[in-house]
Structure 1
Amino acid sequence: MKSFLLLTLWLPLVVYAQKKTPKMYDLLVGGYGSSISVYRFYPETGKLAYLSESDSIKNPSYLCVDKDSRFVYAVSEKDSDSEVMAYSLAPKTGQLTFVNKQPVKGAAACYISIDEDRKNIFVANYLSGSISVLPLKEDGSVLPPSQLIQGKGRSVNKERQEAPHAHTAFLSPDEKYLLYTDLGTDKIHSYRYKDGQQQPLIPVSVTNVKPGSGPRHLDFSPDKKHVYVVQELTGEVVVFDYDDGKLKEVQTVSMLAPGFKGVVGAADIHVSADGKYVYASNRGDVNNIVVYAIAPETGLLTFVERKPTMGKAPRNFVIDPTGNFILVANQDSNSIFVFRRDKASGQIREIASYVQVNKPTCLKFAAAQTPK
């Protein structure tokens, strides 16, 4: 009986300790510089603490992390002969160790993503207007490209749309399809993804958007019924119904305040994990994040607020794994601001912390462990 009483007293303490011990995360920061920075993120406070930097890499402007947080892949963005760099990530220290690199056979690589089984990575090459597929080995190293998809055409903006400019390569949540946006031709391409094949991407459909709008980044709703695309050149968010790799446009909303006149440069877009809100960033003379509420049945958007990012050129941002914070990379003011987020209203609240980082352009989270 005494042992039973001790056990009943001890078990609630264990459960309480488990609840009170937050998960740890590392924030990986890419940008226009010479290394990838790693910060420990504390989800109970929103604070960031510097951990380490990678070895030298030119312009690691976009990153991706495998699902187990074992490997990090970065583009090395160059006007010609861009590369992909592979690193292993130490979960306790945040140390990045170089594994290998491969040319992507494209110019100005600006986006990279990875499939869940760590079979392939997908790279969007802005200047060459192409998508590169690079297989991965079991040890995390990158093999030479197995497939190269070359975009064609142009659109109406003579300065920005004189040629194809691929800007994202995004797998659907079920990983049956890959969507890529072409800012230069005002098109969104859909490909069937079959990872067992030498050339795993098979064309399915092409969706045209408004001429001169410049589709840049996208995200899916958690229920996989809708896709949200941010249009860089016009500062708009477009809502699409999504079904089996195909898109149907159902709504376009402006990110701009009524009567706004100035330079726009819409950049990034994310859907909250609960599927209730969409967030989209705008650069140029705007420098804010626009928040929209999502109608549960239709996926249509209703404006909530515009929140200044406390810096210039919020090229990239991320919602933290708890959903309580939004971290914003202000490229032209060399800063990352951490804002509190109200899950119920979707609104962006007060600043929790900030750090100075050279030209940050990409923020990614990885699971971490606390050193014993």
Structure 2
Amino acid sequence: MTLLWGTYPAAGLGTPAGLGEGIWAQAGTGVGGAAQVLDLPAPSFLLAHPRLPLAYAASELPASTLTVLDVSRPASPRIVASLSTGGADACHLLLAPDARTLYVSHYSSGDLAVVRLGEDGLPVDDAPAQSFSHAGSGPNEDRQEGPHAHSAVLAPGGGHLLVCDLGTDELRRYRILEDGLLESDGIAATFPPGAGPRHAAVRGHLIYVTCELDHVLRTLRWDAASATAQVVAETPATLAPARSAEPQDAHVALVTAESRRHGGDLVLVSVRGADVISVFDVAPEGELTYRGAFDAGHWPRYFAVVGDRLLVGEERGHRVRAYALADVVGLPPERGIGDIAQLPCAVAEVTSPACVIAV
């Protein structure tokens, strides 16, 4: 197994792309050095095909592109297809369960694009089959001047696709048709003004949404009959104080009891500025209890559990970290409010890491 890291330009998000950034490879344990193996402009989000030796890269550009990589030799990935996604600053990819449809979220334009894939995992068209725009804004004039589709997730039950729109404080709803194409179906949930929903994780009938702008992790209960979700609980994403900047929530993920091999489920949240990952225990019925936070380096944008490791990219620290999942699971409750624990980790240099996958 090999880890592939997608990166931003060396000067960071929002700076000119195509100046040497690209894909980096590292041994699958996350221990040991990493090396750049492909030049690609701002591949900020990567996704692996579940069955084929392919990976998909979203280049976060004013005119975004989707690139398909042959990763049968991970140390030398090869571009096999590319197409324009039709939107600005693609920042998230989601594959349908049958891997025949790819959903692309665009931050700056707010569009959601739908790309059809063949049995070989390659796009069947030279452009997205569908593109859904949106309208609206929020009270944060700097960040909510218009719609900002930040990520997509399958709703509980799998009948709808939900898009976290940071700009309009909404969960946009799309009905999934038999062929994987979508039908716009209104709004599933509305958040408090200025919340800025960014990423979501689903557990049963509950949806955990991390909100970047007001720094709150919200639990929503999905109602299948109405295809709507209601906020039922709220908690700060961390109690750790600001260290490098004002806290901004980034990514949320569920660690199941099966993947951690004992105990109950966990929810993890990365918080930039505080520069930590927060650990929440999940009660059987889904209630979250904050356990504590541990240092995750400078600006931990994205993380992923791969095998028995937790992998974290320090976007502004230009490093990647690999923690033993057992250490994360065993994090003791904080002794004082806002304490930041230190966990052992392996560290490697990667310029502006934004996302990681295992192939």
TM-score by length of 1: 0.82
Matching residue of 1:314 = 300
Aligned partners of 1:172 and 1:270: how far apart in 2? 15
Partner of 1:35: 22
TM-superposed deviation, 1:239? 0.6
Match in the other structure for 2:114: 133
Alpha-carbon distance in 2 for matches of 1:93, 1:273: 28
The answer to whether the aligner puts 1:104 opposite 2:104 as a matched pair is no
Shift in CA distance, 316/288, structure 1 to aligned 2, threshold 3 Å: same
Show the 5 A alignment for 1:69-108. Answer: 69-79=52-62, 81-90=63-72, 93-108=74-89
- Judge conservation of contact 1:40–1:51 (CA < 8 Å) in 2: no
Query: Does residue 1:53 correspond to 2:33, yes or no?
Result: no
Quickly say closer, same or farther: Cα 1:178–1:282, change in 2 above 3 A: same
| Percent identity between the two aligned chains | 27
Counterpart position of 2:292: 305
Aligned-partner Cα distance in 1 for 2:346–2:291: 24
Q: Give the counterpart letter for 1:210 in structure 2.
A: P
Q: 228, 231, 242: which one pairs with 1:249?
A: 231
| Offset, 1:352 | 3.4
Q: Does 1:365 align with 2:358?
A: yes
Q: 2:240 touches 2:293 (CA, 8 Å); kept in 1?
A: no
Match of 1:192 among 167, 175, 194: 175
The match for 1:15 is: none
The answer for unaligned runs of 5 or more in structure 2 is: 10-20, 258-263, 332-340
Q: 2:280 aligns with which of 292, 303, 308?
A: 292
Q: Is 1:353 aligned to 2:337, yes or no?
A: no
CA distance in 1, matches of 2:213, 2:74: 41
Q: Please name the residue that 2:271 is paired with.
A: 282
Task: Check conservation: 1:67, 1:116, Cα contact below 8 A.
Answer: no
- Residues 125, 260 of structure 1: CA spacing in aligned structure 2 closer, same or farther, 3 A cutoff? closer
Cα 1:146/1:358, change in 2 over 3 Å: same
Closer/same/farther in 2, CA of residues 49 and 64 from structure 1, 3 Å limit: same
Q: Secondary structure at the match of 2:168?
A: coil
Partner of residue 215, structure 2: 235
Cα deviation, residue 338, structure 1: 1.0
* Matched positions, count: 328
Residue 351 and residue 93 in structure 1: after superposition, are their counterparts in 2 closer, same or farther (change >3 A)? same
The residue identity in structure 2 corresponding to 1:30 is G
2-structure distance, mates of 1:194, 1:100: 26
Residue 340 of structure 1 contacts residue 349 of structure 1 at CA under 8 Å; is this kept in 2? Answer: no
Q: 2:99 aligns with which of 118, 127, 130?
A: 118
Question: How far apart in 2 are the matches of 1:353 and 1:29?
Answer: 15
Alignment match of 2:254 (pick from 271, 283, 293): 271
Contact (CA 8 Å) 1:120, 1:195: kept in 2 or not? no
Give the deviation of 1:27 after TM superposition: 1.3
Contact 1:61 1:77 in 2 (8 A): yes
- Structure 2 length as normaliser, TM-score? 0.85
What's the CA shift for 1:263?
0.7
Does the 8 A contact of 1:277 with 1:346 survive in 2? Answer: no
How big is each residue's C-alpha offset from its partner over 1:313-349, in whole Å with a ceiling of 9 and x where there is no partner? 101011123xx32111010010111112337955287
Equivalent residue letter for 1:107: A
For residues 138-190 of structure 1, give each alpha carbon's deviation from its aligned partner in whole angstroms, at most 9, with x where no partner exists: 33222311111111100110111111111002234754321110000100112
Q: CA deviation at 1:258?
A: 7.5
Q: CA deviation at 1:194?
A: 1.9
Query: Structure 1 residues 69 and 364, CA, compared in 2 at 3 Å: closer, same or farther?
Result: farther
* Other-structure match for 2:317: 333
Offset at 1:351? Answer: 2.3
One-letter amino acid matched to 1:317: F
What displacement does 1:94 show?
4.1
CA distance in 2, matches of 1:93, 1:345: 30
The Cα RMSD (Å) is 2.2
Larger displacement relative to structure 2 (268-277 or 156-165): 268-277
In structure 2, relative to structure 1, the CA distance for the partners of 1:260 and 1:82 (3 Å cut) is closer
Q: Which amino acid letter does the alignment assign opposite residue 105 of structure 1?
A: G
Within the candidate set 200, 215, 240, 1:218 is matched to: 200
